[in-house]
Amino acid sequence: MPITIEMPKLSDTMTEGTLVKWIKRVGDTVAVGDVLAEVETDKATMEMEAFDEGVLSEIYVKDGEKVLIGQKLALLIGKGEAPGSTAPKDTGSKPAAESAPSAVKQPPSDGEPKTAEAKAEPEQPKKEDQAVPSPGSVEPHIGDRVKASPLARKLAADSGVDLSRMQGSGPGGRIVRADVEAAAQGVKKGPAALPPAPKPQPVIPALDDKRIPLSGMRKTIASRLLESKTTIPHFYLQSEINAEPLVKLRKEINDAAEAAGMGKVTVNDFILKATAVAASRVPLANAAFEGESIIQYANVQLACAVAVEEGLVTPVIRAAQKKSLSQISGEIKDLAARARSKKLKPEEYQGGTITVSNLGGYGVEQFFAIINPPQAVIVSVGTIVKKPVVNEAGQIVPGQRLIIGISCDHRVVDGAVGAQFLGELKKLLECPPLMLI
């Protein structure tokens, strides 16, 4: 079995190394412990030893070249083995992306990464003056207490503005400087108006900056997603799924399919199928806002985000609720392939009623996609992560988990409906045979 030799990590602070010189040449026999080359790290020149025996068959990096840790340096093959006879053991390879990813940008998270601190800390009654409302939520004034920043109070006192009649635009509804200044100038502002946007400062261009003209697709993405994020009141729900039954069933199906010479199914195929079924069971999630009314669609026209060279397209599986897992699997494979080779017809990527975006193939654990207008719901799918979980007996055991998020248009879908849809999705994915009947 050929073995790839990579730039080793030779110290606690090393990120890259210079291959000063090769001691062994192509064709040389190598024993465990032999010095292969000299490598210069951030600290000193050190010897790189062989961990395996064999014959040095290829060298990819010349003397004096600087390379990052983990980059391939050479290939070692067994004695008598022909170079390239077997694929090299590549320790750095990633599993192939399982599904069509979406390039939709993740909205900024409005909290710190969760540290589960609350879980580790003993529960304690929250004193009222310590309670900090989550950012963005607006709290009404309670009693006579007006929430205003020290600066806003000072400015209000100076200009004679009455704070008790104002609605703050700061985090937690706090009255901030901008609110007082606006009030002082008599500018009429709506509730919770935003402070004036600061003027963007021009970035001084550098010679090697690149200007990339917008392609047609990029312009469409830009305008549609800007419209979505700024006009649709998004809210987000997420749920952690026990993915073990899914992984198991998929393996069984694929083993059987392989034996029968049929195509394999991906995790994403199951998610598409489950979304189609869940959307038909909770029809309010398969809907759109149309000014004076809400349209509830009879069919689930299931869009699936596919990353292509220029950006992103969302081909649609028609009446997906009526299709079997293998039909969905076959259709999305065909659509994704043609999307990448730019051979989709417009009718094949228009008219979706709900969208799935899957970044699991990129190792993303969780995210929330921007809604694909005029639809009301988009499903965001993360990667399956192995981690310790608590089983029913209260023991910590290895488990497999998948985080599904949904972004909803609050004008169409309320929290309870979103939760119902997500719950349906969870039920199906945790007991996947349910989606097959």
Partner 1 sequence: MPLITYREALKTALSEEIERDENVVILGEEVAQYNGAYKITEGLWKRYGDKRLIDTPISEAGFLGMGIGAAMLGLRPVMELMFWSFAYVAFDQIINNAGCVRYMSGGLLNVPIVIRGPANGGTNVGATHSHTPENLLGNTPGLKVVTPATAYDAKGLMKTAIRDNDPVMVMENTLLYGEKWEVPQEEYLIPLGVADVKRAGTDITLIAHGRAVITCLKAAGLLEAEHEIHAEVIDLRSIRPLDEDAILESVRKTHRALVVEENKPFCGIASQIAAMIQEKAFDELDAPVGRLSSIDAPAIYSPPLEKKQLPDPQRVINKVLQIC
Partner 2 sequence: METLANPPAYAEAAINKQLTNDDKVRLLRDMFRIRRFEQTSLKYYNLGKMGGFLHLYSGQEAVAVGTISLLGKNDHVITAYRDHGHAIAVGMDMKPLMAELFGKATGCSKGKGGSMHFFAPDKNFWGGHGIVGGQTPLGAGIAFALKYKGLRGCCLCYLGDGAINQGPFHEALNLAELFKLPVIYVIENNGYSMGTSQKRSSAFRGTLAQRAEAYNMAWDVCKGEDIYEVRARTQIAVDRAHNESEPTILEIQTYRYYGHSVADANAKKYRTPEEIETYKSKHDPLRVWTQHLVNEGIITEQEVEQIDTDAKEETNQAVQFAEESPLPEEGDIIRGVYREVDEQTEAAAHGRYFFNT
b/e map of 337-346 (b: 16 or more CB within 10 Å)? Answer: ebbeeeebee
437/197 Cα distance (integer angstroms): 54
Q: Shortest Cβ distance from residue 39 to partner 2 (Å)?
A: 10
112/135 Cα distance (integer angstroms): 11
b/e map of 40-60 (b: 16 or more CB within 10 Å)? Answer: bbeeeebebebeeebbbbbbe
Angle between the N-to-C axes of helices 267-281 and 244-259, in degrees from 0 to 180, rounded to the nearest 10: 120
Does 398 interact with partner 2 (rule: CB under 8 A)? yes
Does 10 interact with partner 2 (rule: CB under 8 A)? yes
18/232 Cα distance (integer angstroms): 52
Of 27, 122, 190, 216, which lies in the binding site for partner 2, with binding defined by CB under 8 A? 122
Kindly state the number of chain residues that form the binding site for partner 1, as judged by CB under 8 A. Answer: 30
38, 58 contact by CB (below 8 A) = no
Q: In 3D, which of 147, 203, 190, 187 has the Cα closest to residue 170?
A: 147
Does 110 interact with partner 1 (rule: CB under 8 A)? yes
Q: Is 234 a catalytic residue?
A: no
Of 96, 120, 142, 416, which lies in the binding site for partner 2, with binding defined by CB under 8 A? 120
Residue closer to partner 1 by CB (options 41, 266) is: 41
Strand partners, 397: 389
Strand partners, 381: 358, 404
Does 112 interact with partner 1 (rule: CB under 8 A)? yes
Does 230 interact with partner 1 (rule: CB under 8 A)? no
183/160 Cα distance (integer angstroms): 10
Residue closer to partner 1 by CB (options 14, 419) is: 14
Of 80, 115, 198, 216, which lies in the binding site for partner 2, with binding defined by CB under 8 A? 115
Of 1, 151, 214, 434, which lies in the binding site for partner 1, with binding defined by CB under 8 A? 151
Does 197 interact with partner 1 (rule: CB under 8 A)? yes
1, 89 contact by CB (below 8 A) = yes
The binder of 153, among partner 1, partner 2, none, by C-beta within 5 to 8 A per type, is: partner 1
User: Which is catalytic among the residues 218, 401, 410, 427?
Assistant: 410
Of 34, 58, 60, 69, which lies in the binding site for partner 2, with binding defined by CB under 8 A? 69
Strand partners, 295: 288
Segment contacting partner 2 by CB under 8 A, of 11-19, 322-330, 411-419, 428-436: 11-19
- Residues near partner 2, by CB under 8 A: 6, 8-13, 32, 41, 43-48, 51, 69-70, 91, 112-117, 119-122, 124, 385-388, 398
- Residues near partner 1, by CB under 8 A: 12-13, 15, 42-44, 108-113, 115, 135, 149-154, 170-171, 174, 176-177, 197-198, 200-201, 203
Q: Which residues are catalytic?
A: 410
